[in-house]
């Protein structure tokens, strides 16, 4: 599982480094659309949840549930990166293919499912 996540992350990072600048002025008017406001709210929620998961990880460090909270924190990090990429694309800061954000969503879902599975295995 670690190898698959590492390969997917490497693939997405190489795609990110190949991103081309949009060559156009940054359009901040796109930030005030309903979809962009929803993405901003999701970004803020992801940041808050990432901070909370880091606090919980510091409380359970070295414990049995430490690995599950690492997975949850990693998932929130992937969600945060996906939202940043979507917002960057909306304001024409850079151009990325659509599969990059989808890959971040898939990695987020995988890490959350692994975290849930480990929690169920430990507590169940």
Cα distance between residue 76 and residue 53, in whole Å:
9
- Residue 13: the pLDDT is 63
pTM value is: 0.78
Give me the long-range contacts of 60-65 (CB less than 8 A, separation at least 24). 64/122, 65/119, 65/122
Cα distance between residue 5 and residue 1, in whole Å:
6
- Residue 98: the pLDDT is 84
pLDDT in tens, the chain (124 residues): 566 666 666 766 666 666 655 555 666 777 788 888 999 999 999 999 999 999 998 998 888 888 999 999 999 999 999 999 998 888 887 788 888 999 999 999 999 999 999 999 999 8
Query: What is the distance, to the nearest Å, from the Cα of residue 72 to the centroid of all Cα atoms in its chain?
Result: 11
Residue 38: domain span: 28-123
66 domain residue, yes or no: yes
1 domain residue, yes or no: no
- Residue 61: the pLDDT is 84
Which H helix or E strand runs over 95? Answer: strand 94-95
- Residue 40: the pLDDT is 92
113 domain residue, yes or no: yes
DSSP-derived 3-state class of residue 94:
strand
- Residue 29: the pLDDT is 73
63 domain residue, yes or no: yes
The CB density around residue 120, as the number of other CB atoms within 10 Å, is: 10
112 domain residue, yes or no: yes
- Domains identified in the chain, total number: 1
45 domain residue, yes or no: yes
The CB density around residue 97, as the number of other CB atoms within 10 Å, is: 11
């Amino acid at each position: 599982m670690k190898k698959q996540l590492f390969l997917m992350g490497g693939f997405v990072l190489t795609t990110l480094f190949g991103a081309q600048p949009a060559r156009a002025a940054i359009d901040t008017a796109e930030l005030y659309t309903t979809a962009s406001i929803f993405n901003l709210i999701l970004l803020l929620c992801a940041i808050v949840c990432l901070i909370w998961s880091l606090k919980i990880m510091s409380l359970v460090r070295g414990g049995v549930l430490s690995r599950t909270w690492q997975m949850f924190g990693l998932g929130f990090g992937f969600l945060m990166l996906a939202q940043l990429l979507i917002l960057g694309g909306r304001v024409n800061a850079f151009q990325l293919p659509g599969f990059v954000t989808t890959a971040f969503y898939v990695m987020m879902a995988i890490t959350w499912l692994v975290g849930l599975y480990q929690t169920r295995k430990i507590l169940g």
